[in-house]
Amino acid sequence: MIELREVSKVFNQGQPNECRALRKLSLHLERGGITVFKGPSGSGKTTLLTLIGCLARPTAGRITLDGRLLSNLPERFLTEVRRHTFGFVFQQFNLIRGLTVLENVMLPAYPLGKPYRELRDGARALLDRFRLAAKADSRVEWLSGGEAQRTALARALINDPAVLIADEPTANLDSALSREVLGLLLGELAMQGRTVLISSHDPLVFEAVQVDRIIELHDGRMVGDSQC
């Protein structure tokens, strides 16, 4: 489904503060299942997910999705791929302050041009599924950490993506909330047949029995690849 060939990513190339985040990484990801990218801070996990999710371009190498080359597509086509293929759960949630929970969940779907009532009903159904129906009209800055993370999950699913990308989804949560969020990510969502890609250095994540594959990164290189 997703293939990376000799992919490198360099920030501030040619400058004194040049940073090589990924170094000639090759990887094949099949459709479905749960893959966890583990490694210490600075190992390249987040950079790798941003490249897979078409949020950034590689400095070198090729990335393909279902045989279609992505790494040289114009930005307007990459935007369409992102909207229709990927859902994102960011480490800092990235919810829009001043908007309600319902408005935040609906936001990624507006460019698809769905009728407003259909979009609103779909967002409310997701909030109900994540036990957030009572918070629909609350501003997101009033949410607890667990509520904010569940809102971010609902927002990531509003366009029914085939691939869900979660960057350090437990980093800002305590153990109890981490287990709750993982129950959603590793249980219900993966059982729907979605491809779930998670970056984490949290043992709660990469030691979970539901995980199918663990890829270990260090200094921008893949140093481990194991099937679970």
Per-residue model confidence (pLDDT) at position 183: 82
Of 58, 46, 72, 82, nearest to 168 (Cα)?
46
Residue with tokens 């279902």: 66
Identify the H or E element spanning 59: none
| Number of CB atoms found within 10 A of residue 175's CB | 10
Pick the closest to residue 93 from 189, 164, 41, 168 (CA basis): 168
Q: In this structure, what CATH number is given to the domain that contains residue 154?
A: 3.40.50.300
pTM for the whole thing? 0.91
d(CA 224, CA 9): 19
Q: Per the structure block, which two tokens stand in for 217?
A: 């990164």
What is the C-alpha to C-alpha distance for residues 208 and 228, in angstroms, rounded to an integer? 10
Radius of gyration of the chain (CA): 18
Q: Cα-Cα-Cα-Cα dihedral of 203, 204, 209, 211, to 10°?
A: -70
The whole-number pLDDT of residue 86 equals: 95
pLDDT at 27: 95
Tens place of pLDDT for every residue, the chain, 228 residues?
Answer: 899 999 999 998 888 888 999 999 999 999 888 999 999 988 999 999 999 999 999 999 999 999 999 888 888 888 889 988 999 998 888 999 999 999 999 999 998 888 999 999 999 999 998 889 999 999 999 999 889 989 999 999 999 999 999 998 888 778 888 888 888 887 767 667 789 999 998 888 988 888 999 999 999 999 999 988
Burial 32-43 (b: 16+ CB within 10 A, else e): ebbbbbbbeeeb
Q: Nearest Cα to 194, choosing from 212, 181, 173?
A: 212
Domain count for the chain: 1
pLDDT of residue 138: 96
Domain holding 96, by residue range, is 2-227
